[in-house]
Structure 1
Amino acid sequence: MNLRLSAGAAALALAAALALTGCSSDDDTAASSTSTPAADEATPTAQDVAALAGVRVEGDPGSEPTLAFDAPLSVSVPTTRLVSDGTGDALTDGARVDLHYVFFDASGERVGSTWQEGNNTSEAVTLGDPNLGVINDVLEGTHVGARALVANPSAGEDGETTTTVMLLEVASVGEWRAQGEPVTPAAGLPTVTLDDNGKPSIAIPEGFEPSDDLVVQPLIKGSGAEVTAEQSLTVHYTGWLTDGTQFDSSWDRNVPATFSLQQVIPGWTQGLAGQTVGSQVLLVIPASLGYGDAGQGSIPGGATLIFVVDILQAF
């Protein structure tokens, strides 16, 4: 599947807002430390570190803070600082991390916030998703409740470079996997088994003859909103040929995939529209709704495809 990898709409929004460069860090994340990227990547200067060290975070954890600093704030490369660690569950690579954040521009003006207008809705990202860049570095090894600052320079419409600073707060951590009521599948379909992390494997029944029609079998019924064909989804998925050969899996990359239902094979669009967020769905897709007689990559022409899809978010 040609799916754009991402942690979901939230991760994309964060990355777009910051224009992160994906610097990585080798040092630890002790309280009040500033990340130091590897030698072959952009490294914050002493002036960058000092600029972010001068940002004062005012307000109690659990509610929107105020950032106070001497304007205009400026850094030359993305720069992070762990303000404080939390005391909750540990954050691990590949985990779903729910973040609150507030943005300020270089002049100290508040730009936006997940706390704004009483919405108070955190956004989910995947720790380790490359789209998050330096956010991964500063949150690695921390715990729920952690607060971190991220400053990032970007070119404005007038060509001038300006810095945005963001305070992140980790609201919760969990797993990216379907959750809901188990559904007993129809007889004769591939049997799906989940490992401890939720990754599926399948057993193909002896003599299995796939239908010429699309087969859509919910395995877990989620309690979320019903998906429409016009939406984009964040999912975990694995795909196999009918001989049991796996050809793709987001689970192996440890990062869910995000895509528009208007930009995938028809079997996905037809099979996932009408399902609910939180569900896990078995799809058996005939070639006519897959890659046809031409095939794609390791998928031969005329192949029936089997997918198990966890619907994690819809937007």
Structure 2
Amino acid sequence: MKHRTSAGVAALAVSVALALTACSSDDGASDAPSESPSSTAATDAPTPTAEDVTALEAVEVSGDAGAEPELVFEAPLEVSVPTSRVVDEGDGAELVAGNQVTMEFVAYQGDGTRLGSSWENGTPETFLLGDAQYDLLTQPLEGQKVGTRILLANPSADAEGNPATVLNLVEITDTQEVPSRAEGEAVEPAEGLPTVTLGENGEPSVEIPEGYEAPGELVVQTLIKGDGPEVTEEQSVIAHYTGWTLDGQVFDSSWERGSPTSFSLQMVIPGWTQGIAGQTVGSQVLLVIPSDLAYGEQGTPDGSIPPNSPLVFVVDILGAS
């Protein structure tokens, strides 16, 4: 799904996660579509210098696990590339790529300013380990265990766009396996809608009926009814999905990338927010989204979705938090 993000924000939850991964928007506007999550982070992380390692080793972590710690360091703290350090090793379940991981975190600017924390807001962050949005967490966390605490310093930018380092203390509190596809009771769709066919692995394909006209309002058709909890629009979800323009052309697919993705329902197009909220975890949903609830008159900056394009999605809702 093409997210709507804002560059350089310091608000918590999703925005601190974006600081962790150095995601950025295309134009700095909070309502502008950004690139697909798979393209937001490099797979091969650069190697920290000796100076980077020394700078992070000098950070003192005061406080026990399970509560927000205080980070004490000499400002300005600067690193040239993302740099991590294990503060405490966990003794819980192993963290495996593809699993849902829940973390608490506190974030500081390199000048010593505390940006805030999930402990303060009561909103731990849940993400998919290995998801490109959280790419900088994959290397230091994969193979660790629940209970691990790590420091992660990342060169980023402040609210004015000036170079700045963001320092995070991340504590892993839980991990769970994520199903590979929607599971539940099949639902007979209404007549006249795009026809969905599933491959052996659950990957969907769509046939658009000849002469099908874009609806004036959002169409939400449950195809598989899961038995999990109901999703609310304030939550983040883990989903497998494919999106088509109305001529049947695929423009985005987590299936093609090989793994589900996670995102906040507050950071996507309105058609997703409205269409996914109220569904249950485990469900598969067909969405036919009019252009005014998608990318409207502007389309997407990369041209993959032209202006005034209605969209079709098939979404497997695999988790929510």
SS in structure 2 at match of 1:138? helix
Equivalent residues of 1:154, 1:161 under 8 A apart = yes
Equivalence map 1:68-147=2 (5 Å):
68-72=71-75, 74-77=77-80, 78-106=82-110, 110-116=114-120, 119=122, 121-147=123-149
2:313 match: 307
Equivalence map 1:200-239=2 (5 Å):
200-201=203-204, 216-218=220-222, 219-221=224-226, 223-227=229-233, 235-239=239-243
Equivalent residues of 1:11, 1:132 under 8 A apart = no
Cα 1:83/1:281, change in 2 over 3 Å: same
Cα 1:83/1:257, change in 2 over 3 Å: closer
Within the candidate set 54, 61, 85, 2:58 is matched to 54
**Comparing 47-56 and 171-180, the one that deviates more:** 171-180
TM-score (norm 1): 0.63
Rounded to whole Å, the distance in 2 between the matches of 1:298 and 1:163 is: 33
Equivalence map 1:1-315=2 (5 Å):
3-4=2-3, 10-16=13-19, 19=22, 37-38=45-46, 43-61=47-65, 63-72=66-75, 74-77=77-80, 78-106=82-110, 110-116=114-120, 119=122, 121-156=123-158, 162-174=164-176, 175=178, 182-186=185-189, 190=195, 193=198, 199-201=202-204, 216-218=220-222, 219-221=224-226, 223-227=229-233, 235-239=239-243, 248-253=252-257, 254-256=259-261, 258=263, 268=271, 272=275, 275-276=278-279, 278=281, 279-283=283-287, 307-311=313-317
Rounded to whole Å, the distance in 1 between the matches of 2:77 and 2:267 is: 41
Shift of 1:49: 0.6
Shift of 1:194: 7.4
Q: Partner amino acid for 1:166? A: N
Shift of 1:104: 3.1
Q: Partner amino acid for 2:129? A: L
Shift of 1:236: 2.9
Rounded to whole Å, the distance in 1 between the matches of 2:183 and 2:134 is: 29
Rounded to whole Å, the distance in 1 between the matches of 2:83 and 2:16 is: 19
Q: Which runs of 5+ in 1 are unaligned?
A: 27-36
Shift of 1:97: 2.2
Cα 1:250/1:18, change in 2 over 3 Å: closer
Q: Partner amino acid for 1:52? A: L
Shift of 1:132: 3.1
Rounded to whole Å, the distance in 1 between the matches of 2:3 and 2:166 is: 26
Equivalent residues of 2:85, 2:152 under 8 A apart = yes
SS in structure 2 at match of 1:115? helix
Rounded to whole Å, the distance in 1 between the matches of 2:276 and 2:159 is: 39
Q: Partner amino acid for 1:72? A: A
SS in structure 1 at match of 2:151? strand
Larger radius of gyration: 1
Q: Partner amino acid for 1:308? A: V
1:30 match: none
Q: Which runs of 5+ in 2 are unaligned?
A: 6-11, 25-39
Q: Partner amino acid for 1:147? A: R
Rounded to whole Å, the distance in 2 between the matches of 1:75 and 1:304 is: 45
Count of residues paired in the alignment: 286
Cα RMSD after superposing both structures: 5.2
Rounded to whole Å, the distance in 1 between the matches of 2:162 and 2:290 is: 53
Q: Partner amino acid for 1:64? A: A
Cα 1:312/1:68, change in 2 over 3 Å: same
Rounded to whole Å, the distance in 2 between the matches of 1:223 and 1:133 is: 28
Shift of 1:281: 0.8
Cα 1:194/1:87, change in 2 over 3 Å: farther
